[in-house]
Amino acid sequence: MTNLLIYPLLIPLLTAILLIFFKNIYWQRTISIISTALTSITAGSLIYVNYTTGIQSLNLSNWEAPFGITLVSDMLSALLVTASSLITLLCLLYSFRSIGEPREKYYYYSVMQFLLLGVNGAFTTGDIFNLFVFFEVMLMSSYVLIVLGGTKIQLRESLKYLLVNVLSSALFVIAVAYLYSVVGTLNMAHLSARIAEIPTEQTGILTVIAVLFLIVFGLKGAIFPLFFWLPGSYYAPPIPVLAMFGALLTKVGVYSIMRTYTLIFNHDQIYTHSLLGLLALLTITIGVIGAIAYSDLKKIIIYNIMVAIGVILFGVSTMSESGLTGSIFYLLHDMIIKAALFLLVGVMITITGTSNLRNISGLIHKYPLLAWTFFITALSLAGIPPLSGFIGKILIVQGGFEEGELVGSLVVIFSSLFVLFSVMKIFINGFWGTPKAWDHEEKAPVKFLLIPCIVLVTIAVLYGFGADVTEPFISKAAESLINPSVYVDAVLKE
Amino acid sequence: MKNNDVILQVTTKVIVFIIVLFSIYIFFAGHYTPGGGFIGGLMTSGAIVLLLLTYDIKTVAEMLPLDYKLVAAAGLFIAAATSTGALLFDLPFLTHGYWEIWLPILGETGLHTAVFFDTGVYLVVVGVTLTIIQTIGVSE
């Protein structure tokens, strides 16, 4: 039982290796679905164990805490690991009928498992250099997934994506090197404990390193002004891959900012957290502008990713209890709802063969289920009260008001309006009106593709309605962010 | 005109064995002296690259009929399996074990499971390097 928290990492790893040997597509599908289901189950049991017995930490190779690599699974990471495993499961299901055999033959499922390994590892690790390694596992899989298929747009955009990420990885290494030379340790809990001992007048260099980490994770998580690669790169890959990217990759950057800014860099909050707050608000603004400016289905949702990142990071920057709780609520909601939105938009594109909103209309007449699922998702994204986006956003706004961030809170509130406008634009223009005839319509496996979307939306709706049930889990997750000593004690066992 | 590279071919035949031997030496020396799976694997690939330079891809594929993608996958599997083995004894992942074993010629020898992990690394490095080189070599 000591090893429970490694299973969400180990199962994808072993599956990925196994899938290299199997050429048969049906075997590949079966194995990857079963193993991802297992990953989700173990991740779910991790939530339970965390809830009943507290933070789990595992010293790999049996070395004592600061000297070896420690994996730490607190409630936040357990929740995120479960969410990412579930989303991967549903994206895999969606892939069966949409990704196409040529891609499946070239190790598609294997790479998906490596991506899940990277994401789960990044959420679980307690060592800053190990975080870098898991980032690389995740990024290399994403390079493969973005270029797999080899169309012209994929080649062009993967080049940009690769260039930006290689640069940011190099910066990550430099930042870790600076941090190591100042503090002399790489274990996050130990870093936190050591930095707390440094007298305040000597923390100037740590503030510089904190900003450097913000740049690094900002490049991964696409905050202003480091978002420039996102709209193009995410436009290129096929829909299930895009859903994985939109739901998981940027959120890993956001999680890393959350973790480092609450656990490690809490010495000079006036400077670092105000900077984070300012950048978050600018990210929201840019995201909103992009979301209402475009009339392309994928572009609209891609810019909505940025809005959500801004909202979550604004909650983190307030460093208040309600702000952080709200951020976690919103982070989980956003992972699920973005995956659902991308998959739904994918269904629309499969039916119509175009992603240009101007060429689509009247889908509701033939596809009422798709339309109403999309409608619920849209309301949920904007944060209409009983649905899942509401609780997170209201807590973030509350946290903002508590800390006297009036402008910020108002920006968050008004951003919802524009987000609602951008997705309602899709609903009104795409689903209402007179139906048109499309070439691909007969071949589109709409019913099959809708299953994962509906499951995701159901989870989101339950998450919103069952806020009373989830609240104790979320507040437990927020506890280790608000009070980092809980985390430090669990790892260093003092 | 057909080139006659008999000198290159003869020296390659001698040198390849020396390189492979040296790479195996480096691989096993890794625990106490500089070396290990990574550099050992790179050197073995270097020997095979020398074969590729001397002969063509087809000939080398006949000499060593291996699918290097599977070599890399097998290496990954060995490394992962060695690390997972600790789970059977309810120890943390990646915990390694150590035995003194009597071997016929070497006598009393310490055997550490880290060697298996290193073997995995070695195979992955060989597999990946040669997959890259062969793929670039074949595609037009």
CA distance A178 to A212: 10
A276, A282, A285, A286: CA torsion to nearest 10: -110
What integer is the mean pLDDT of B43-58? 92
pLDDT at residue B140 in the model = 64
- Asked if residue B23 lies in contact with residue B47, where contact means CB atoms within 8 angstroms, the answer is yes
**Shortest Cα distance, chain B CAs vs residue A71, angstroms:** 10
- Asked if residue A68 lies in contact with residue A214, where contact means CB atoms within 8 angstroms, the answer is no
Q: Tell me the average pLDDT of chain B.
A: 90
Contact B69 A61 (CB under 8 A): no
Residues of B in contact with A6 (CB under 8 A): 87, 93
Of A375, A327, A330, A364, which is closest to residue A482 (Cα–Cα)? A327
Contact A62 B69 (CB under 8 A): no
Reported as half-sphere exposure (CB side, CA atoms, 13 A), residue A280 has a value of: 29
**Shortest Cα distance, chain A CAs vs residue B76, angstroms:** 7
pLDDT band at B105 (very low <50, low <70, confident <90, very high): confident
Residue A356's beta-bridge partner residues?
A296
pLDDT in tens, B17-27: 999 999 999 99
What integer is the mean pLDDT of B57-62? 88
pLDDT at residue B1 in the model = 57
Q: Show the low-confidence residues of chain A (pLDDT under 50).
A: none
Residues of A in contact with B93 (CB under 8 A): 3, 6, 10, 58, 60-61
CA distance A409 to A284: 11
Question: What are the residues of chain B with a beta carbon less than 8 Å away from any beta carbon of chain A?
Answer: 69-70, 72-73, 76-77, 80, 84, 87, 90-96
pLDDT at residue A1 in the model = 62
CA distance A133 to A152: 30
Contact A21 B95 (CB under 8 A): no
pLDDT at residue A305 in the model = 94
- Nearest C-alpha in B relative to A1: B90
Helix extents (H) in B3-113: 6-29, 37-54, 57-63, 68-88
Contact A61 B94 (CB under 8 A): yes
In three-state secondary structure terms, B30 is: coil
What is the H or E stretch that residue B111 is in? Answer: strand B107-112
Its pTM stands at 0.95
pLDDT at residue A246 in the model = 93
Residue B109's beta-bridge partner residues?
B101
- Asked if residue A185 lies in contact with residue A191, where contact means CB atoms within 8 angstroms, the answer is yes
DSSP code per residue over A164-233: HHHHHHHHHHHHHHHHHHHH---BHHHHHHHHHHS-GGG-HHHHHHHHHHHHHHHHHHT-TTS-TTHHHH
Q: Tell me the average pLDDT of chain A.
A: 92
- Asked if residue A413 lies in contact with residue A400, where contact means CB atoms within 8 angstroms, the answer is no
Query: Of A304 and B4, which is predicted with more confidence?
Result: A304
- Nearest C-alpha in A relative to B78: A17
Does A13 contact chain B (CB < 8 Å)?
yes
Residues of A in contact with B80 (CB under 8 A): 10, 13-14, 17
pLDDT at residue B90 in the model = 85
Of A160, A381, A419, A424, which is closest to residue A290 (Cα–Cα)? A419
pLDDT at residue A440 in the model = 62
The per-residue b/e assignment along A244-263, b for 16 or more CB within 10 angstroms, e otherwise, is bbbbbbbbbbbbbbbbbbbb
pLDDT in tens, A2-39: 788 899 999 999 999 999 998 889 999 999 999 999 99
- Asked if residue A88 lies in contact with residue B121, where contact means CB atoms within 8 angstroms, the answer is no
Domain boundaries, chain A: 296-484
Residues near B138 by Cβ (< 8 Å), separated by ≥ 6?
A: B57
Of B70, B80, B87, the CB nearest to A21: B70
pLDDT in tens, A228-254: 999 999 999 999 999 999 999 999 999
DSSP code per residue over A305-330: HHHHHHHHHHHHHH--HHHHHHHHHH
pLDDT at residue A439 in the model = 64
- Percent of chain B surpassing pLDDT 90: 54
Axis-axis angle for helices A446-465, A321-352 (nearest 10): 160
Mutate to test the interface with B, among A17, A67, A127 (most CBs of B within 10 A): A17
In three-state secondary structure terms, A56 is: strand
Contact B80 A13 (CB under 8 A): yes
| ipTM of the complex, rounded to two decimals | 0.92
| Token pair in block for residue A327 | 């951020």
